[in-house]
Amino acid sequence: MSEADACRADVWLWRARFFKTRSMAARFVEEGRVRMTRQGQETRLDKPARTLKVGDQLVFALGGRLIAVAVEAFGDRRGPATEARGLYSTLDGG
């Protein structure tokens, strides 16, 4: 699996600007607070090193809001917010 095909969950959450630091993202994943759906199979992420692929759907609660997103890209860095928004698309809550 090449780096272009997958990305660590903690790195992606940090690059997508859901968390200020990568360690905060890693702690959030370790606590089992992120659910991932891949090809109809839902699992709870429990390790920050779990890989995400394009098309994976993530659901987690953050700041009192339920966030549901689909992974669209991985990015090469943690860029500005406009760049980060290109890494995911939001899913309707219905």
When pLDDT is cut at 50, 70 and 90, the band that residue 94 belongs to is very low
When pLDDT is cut at 50, 70 and 90, the band that residue 93 belongs to is low
Question: Which has the closest alpha carbon to 69: 80, 48, 49, 84?
Answer: 84
When pLDDT is cut at 50, 70 and 90, the band that residue 3 belongs to is low
Cα-based distances in Å from 92 to 20, 29, 57, 75: 25, 22, 12, 23
Phi/psi at 68 (5° precision): -125, 115
Domain 7-90 in CATH: superfamily? Answer: RNA-binding S4 domain (3.10.290.10)
Residues 6+ apart with CB under 8 A from 30: 46, 47, 48
Point out which residues pair with 26 in neighbouring strands. Answer: none
Q: Of how many residues is the chain composed?
A: 94
Each domain of the chain, given as residue ranges in start order, spans 7-90
Q: Structure pTM?
A: 0.92
Cα-based distances in Å from 70 to 54, 85, 86: 8, 11, 11
